[in-house]
Structure formats: C-alpha cells, structure tokens
Amino acid sequence: MTFEEFQRSLKDDTPPASLNPILEGLWYDGKEDWEAAHNIAQSAEGTPAYDRLHAYLHRKEGDTWNANYWYRRAGAATYTGSLLSEWETLVRQYLERS
C-alpha cells in the first residue's frame, strides 16, 4: 500500500484488513479516534513500535511529560516537528516495513 492509498482509506468506515497494528493505530488517529489508536498502543507496551506510537499519541494529546517517557521507552528521540509531519513520517516508515 502506498501513502496515498493509506490516506484515501481514511474515507472508509473501517481500516484496510491488510494493515499491521501500528498502521491500524495510525489509521484510527487519522480518523480522529484517539481512544482506538491509544488502545492499540497500549496492547503491546514494551515493544518499541508500540511505544513509539504511544509517544506520538500522548504528544498529540498535549501530555508532553508522558510523551517523553514513551519516546525514551521506544529508544527514539523526541520529535520536534509538527504533529502532521510526525504522523506522516510514522505512516511512511511502517508502510515501508509492511
């Protein structure tokens, strides 16, 4: 799936069946369903990819302290760009891994 196809899928009511859980979380976030995305991030805490998603979600929520905790847990630098840029970076990164 390309980034553009992923973006188009946000018009659908359900995520594409082929998405891995991290992309599914990002899909829900793209649909403004933070709670569903957060549930996915919490489902495998201690796994770097899930912790990275968790960091982004808490940053988006405005909880900087909690976001920084999850960035450290993920072994990732705190993202300093825009939230949209971080979302796009994560989507592209995990699409490449799929």
- Average predicted confidence (pLDDT) for the chain: 97
What are the residue ranges spanned by the domains of the chain? 22-97
- State mean pLDDT over 74-91: 97
Note the pLDDT tens digit of each residue in 24-55: 999 999 999 999 999 999 999 999 999 999 99
Total-model pTM: 0.96
Beta carbons within 8 Å of 57's beta carbon, 6+ residues apart: 25, 29, 34, 37, 38, 41
The per-residue pLDDT for 98 is 82
The per-residue pLDDT for 80 is 94
